[in-house]
Structure 1
């Protein structure tokens, strides 16, 4: 009579690694929708995100530790589970790790503008920020931090009158899929907001157009409603706007 051998410990550990990596990746993935669609408090959602990351790392570590002992062969099954644990865990841990690395290399600011001396004020979007942790005012300490980290963020000068410059600003804002909430050509002001696709974070934007000589000067400001640091989201948005505006003809 044939008696099937029991699985070795390495095989069972490989399966545990697969479970840890899969569950951890799922937890990381749902942390954003829990906040965006179900209204889970952001601190709780970030905690879910963080502990999901811990599980994925544990799964990868255990997978690496068991992939060789669990390699295919006599009573040595489980290499597939260990391999999948490494792949799935690495995929699930990538975004948290990427965010962590960004936080280490970018200043802890959430307000970016091309005019740090007299930044464009939030007017219409200030009404949308009621109850938001970050006030609409421009932080005094931001200017020095921004200039040191992002010296390329500067206003754009266009060789067209303000009315034409404002039309260009509108075209760029529409092309970038901003949710425009205010168009005030008389003030040279356009305001909008954007929603991040995963966590649903909202950032407010104001663009200001003013005459400068025979042309126009365009300034932009992008500010997060929550979070001490934006992980570069606002500066990337400002850069995308400036680049597109410069290419508008």
Structure 2
């Protein structure tokens, strides 16, 4: 029956044009009672496929920004630019996918709807990390140096050479950072252990090893341990100093964690200190 109607439509075509262009694009699908299927919107389907390709490219761009900096050596500013433009592309892909979902909805024989739907899903996935980072940064102070002792932060010694050329200087920023830290992380305080400094240093060393820090200096006599921890994605390096001092019959342990790049550490240094303190208290 479909072939007969299609043949009739072709035979009734007016060679001068008119409305026959529309008639020739109509298809009739017989499934028991039969139903008319919407005309194919080729532009919408092409745009849907374009949205899908853009979403995939955006997700790959966002994901590649970190490895490009960590493994290829791309300058951090360029890596952040790649990250940012990947986000912009993801947003555009989501918008285009949403715009083409309705024109390509099920009922048309082409597969533009699937491409549009996947563009939205993949685009949102690609934009999720940048958006979550932005939202997280709005909740946290713009600081990158956290210490359990804000009056006398542990000083870097061996790390000074490793930090040469880092955008963030090794010195403690000062009172403004201390005030912001105290308001945001009131639980970041010194740890007092009921063991002498020598034993406390051994515990600190074991915890640093368990946390897979790259220890660059061990000075038991000075009560100082220095280490570096590298992030998995971008390879950002944060420097850590642990200081042990006598405290009566026991020891007081202070830790400082500072990022080499970035105005905000997105809470990474505070989380690192909390994890260290929790493990140190559990160490015996």
TM-score class, shorter:
over 0.9
> In structure 2, what is the Cα distance between the partners aligned to 1:11 and 1:41?
39
1:112 aligned onto 2:161: no
Match of 2:29 in 1: none
Which fold has the larger relative contact order, with Cα–Cα distance below 8 Å and residues 6 or more apart in sequence?
1
Deviation per residue, 1:95-153 (Å, 9 max, x gap): 11111111111111110000000000011111100111111100012100100111110
Match of 1:233 in 2: 268
Q: Is the 8 A contact 1:8 1:75 kept in 2?
A: no
Q: Is the 8 A contact 2:40 2:108 kept in 1?
A: no
Query: Deviation at 1:10?
Result: 2.1
Match of 2:43 in 1: 9
Match of 1:31 in 2: 65
SS of 2:221's equivalent in the other structure is coil
SS of 2:207's equivalent in the other structure is helix
> In structure 2, what is the Cα distance between the partners aligned to 1:43 and 1:35?
9
Query: Deviation at 1:46?
Result: 0.5
> In structure 1, what is the Cα distance between the partners aligned to 2:200 and 2:56?
51
Match of 1:191 in 2: 226
1:164 aligned onto 2:199: yes
Q: CA RMSD in A?
A: 1.7
Match of 2:281 in 1: 246
SS of 1:186's equivalent in the other structure is helix
> In structure 2, what is the Cα distance between the partners aligned to 1:74 and 1:51?
34
> In structure 1, what is the Cα distance between the partners aligned to 2:105 and 2:280?
56
1:66 to 94, 100, 107: 100
TM-score (norm 2): 0.84
Match of 2:190 in 1: 155
SS of 2:222's equivalent in the other structure is coil
SS of 2:103's equivalent in the other structure is coil
SS of 2:266's equivalent in the other structure is coil
Query: Deviation at 1:65?
Result: 2.3
Match of 2:78 in 1: 44
Query: Which range is displaced more, 10-19 or 111-120?
Result: 10-19
> In structure 2, what is the Cα distance between the partners aligned to 1:126 and 1:63?
50
Query: Deviation at 1:60?
Result: 1.4
Query: Deviation at 1:75?
Result: 4.7
Query: Deviation at 1:246?
Result: 1.2
1:98 aligned onto 2:168: no
Deviation per residue, 1:193-237 (Å, 9 max, x gap): 011111111100000011111111110000011111111111111
SS of 2:65's equivalent in the other structure is helix
TM-score (norm 1): 0.95
Query: Which range is displaced more, 128-137 or 75-84?
Result: 75-84
Q: Is the 8 A contact 2:231 2:237 kept in 1?
A: yes
